[in-house]
Amino acid sequence: MVSTTGQLDAPLVDIGAVQREYWERKTVELPSLAKFQKPKGWKGWFQKTHTPVCVIRRLTNSEWNMINEKFLDLRTDLAKDAVLLNNIVSKTMEGKEVTQDEKKILAVAQAKAMPIYTGMLEIMIEEPKMKYADVQAMLDVCDQNDKDNLMAQVNTLTSEKMSVAQAVANERMTEVNELRTQMMQDLA
């Protein structure tokens, strides 16, 4: 018979902590770049080709602030059209048909926002180290699927940063409320 003393007192898995730490590093495959990675020479016939990858990481608050400062003019320009863009996006989410003019507005806004995404990727990509021009060249060469996958990872990271901040704020408010109720019970 096996003794289980002490195992029942072990803490349960904290899923919230796991989710917060999920985005420390993530490997993103870029199969459209495989054609540029072929081995050269006669040994190339015997070597297996691998799908190229890049490793992206979570940005720190100082890096977020640096990106915000670097693209301040572009962000204020995008903020001018934010109400119109939100209306178009909500119309799309409701399943309504979008006119050609609205599609053009969305395309222009996406083209305006690309330098911000490129700047974020410049800092986020940990391996291989890249400069802004290198990231631009990589995005130009990638097919649409790889580009969409990479941009989706950036969007996921951005929304996850917001959800983590909200979760931390909720934890703090819960602690404050518990302390308040304890104080009120002690006074009574």
pLDDT tens, residue by residue, 132-173: 898 888 888 888 888 888 888 777 776 656 666 667 777 878
Tell me the pLDDT tens digit for each residue of 1-36. Answer: 455 555 555 566 666 665 555 556 777 777 777 777
Tell me the pLDDT tens digit for each residue of 28-71. Answer: 777 777 777 666 666 666 666 677 888 888 777 788 888 888 88
CA distance 163 to 176: 20
CA distance 75 to 51: 35
CA atoms within a 13 Å half-sphere pointing along the CA-CB vector of 54? 27
Residue carrying the six token digits 């996006």: 89
Residue carrying the six token digits 């080709």: 49
User: For residue 49, which of 70, 68, 31, 27 has the smallest C-alpha distance?
Assistant: 31
Structure tokens at 6: 């002490």
Helices marked H in the chain — which ranges?
Answer: 15-21, 61-70, 72-80, 82-93, 100-124, 132-141, 144-187
